[in-house]
Structure 1
Amino acid sequence: VPSLLSMPYLGSVPANDPVYINTRKFLLSGSNPYFFKGKYAEGIGGPHVALDMIWPLSIVMRGLTSNSEEEIKNCLQMLINTHGDTGFMHESFHKNDPKNFTRSWFAWANTIFGEFVLQVQDKMPHLLKSI
């Protein structure tokens, strides 16, 4: 998971580390030139596909490293709303049109999404019932 956002997931730092918290705030803000907000979602993308393309992996990692039930629920909802009517996660999708996506089959994103859902089911099952 190629992002500083994933550091707690990888065991590099605790999620409550002050430097990580500031890094997270930057990554998930308009100060990050690769943080995109659109009609359907917000998340981190990159320059190798196109601007305004969000990586579902970034939304999953945001949820996996969050301590906020509201943020986790929002991440789940964004992922549900952006599979482009395919039932699968993709490499990236356009912030205003989830049917405009790259890589119709991207096992990495699907696998990490599954891990996210299982983690939520284990720690906060009520969230899955509320969406």
Structure 2
Amino acid sequence: MVKSAFRPSDDVMTLPFLVPTNAMAVVDLRRTTTIVQALIGDGGSISSECSEIYLNGLVDDMTFMANTIDAGIQKYGIGVHPLTGNKQYAYEVDGYGNMYYADDANVPSLLSLPYLGYVNATDPIYINTRNFVLSSNNPWYFSGKAGAGLGGPHVGLNSIWPMSIIIHALTSTDSEEITNCAELLVDSTENTTLMHESFNKNDVGSYTRSWFAWANSLFGELVLYDEGLERIKITSEQ
């Protein structure tokens, strides 16, 4: 696996191997391998400048890296949670058996593994992980009068990130769950028509960043992802 010092949220890590970012590396290495394979023998400018031997070697190297990281995740990144007794992905590990069970709102995250393309949303280990992530067993899951969702140490306790609610919807196979997430997202804008970085679990009017481009882009993706969201009346007044 690949070591990191910081999470996607820019917060310092607890253990050196972040499982979601390693999963993302596996997916992207394999996707890049497919691109390079398509260049071999295509007669284009890139293949004429790079020898076929070099490109084939690049494919072999990236395939090796992807498979090695993937094997590391499967060997070191999965454990049995001490409270639930379920087999699931850990958020961070050290490769010596120590695991930090949590999940952060920022992507890549454990919740986002199907969105990243690493696992299928119906994978049993992912389902166990998802159930943990969206529960009070996750130290960064908050639920209050204004809604429920993931936060993280970057903003602090009791702050829910709309980004996590969007990923919750994008990884769901339940149309009602997706609709509920979308309605919460609209309500969380506090009549600004924009996604915020975070909002207090008991008060959507208490938020950070009046607009957050990353979350806004993801929300647009969610609307395109599920045509059923036309049931939600998203107007300029909301």
2:126 to 17, 20, 28: 20
Q: Which runs of 4+ in 1 moved over 6 A?
A: none
Aligned counterpart, 1:60: 166
The aligned residue for residue 194 of structure 2 is 88
Deviations 1:3-62 (A, max 9, x none): 110000010001011110000000000111111011121000011212100010100000
Q: What TM-score, normalized to structure 1?
A: 0.92
Alpha-carbon offset, residue 128 of structure 1: 2.5
How many equivalent pairs are there?
A: 127
List runs of 5+ in structure 2 lacking aligned partners.
1-106, 234-238
For the 8 Å contact 2:108–2:116, the answer to whether it is kept is no
Residue of structure 2 equivalent to 1:98: 204
Q: Output the CA distance in 2 between the equivalents of 1:130 and 1:36.
A: 24
Percentage of identical aligned residues:
57
Q: Which has the higher contact order (CA 8 A, sep 6+)?
A: 1
1:129 equivalent to 2:231? Answer yes
Q: What's the C-alpha RMSD, in Å, of the aligned pairs? A: 1.2
Per the alignment, residue 77 of structure 1 pairs with: 183
Tell me by how many angstroms 1:88 deviates.
0.4
Deviations 1:70-111, CA, capped at 9 Å, x for gaps? 110110111011112211001111111111111112100000
Distance (whole Å) between structure 2 residues aligned to residue 118 and residue 13 of structure 1: 21
TM-score using structure 2 length? 0.52
SS class of match (1:93)? strand
Code of the residue aligned with 2:184 in structure 1: it is M
Distance change in 2, residues 1:113/1:130 (3 Å): closer
C-alpha distance in structure 2 between counterparts of 1:31 and 1:113, whole Å: 27
Whole-Å Cα distance in 2 between the matches of residues 115 and 98 of structure 1? 22
Larger radius of gyration between Structure 1 and Structure 2: 2
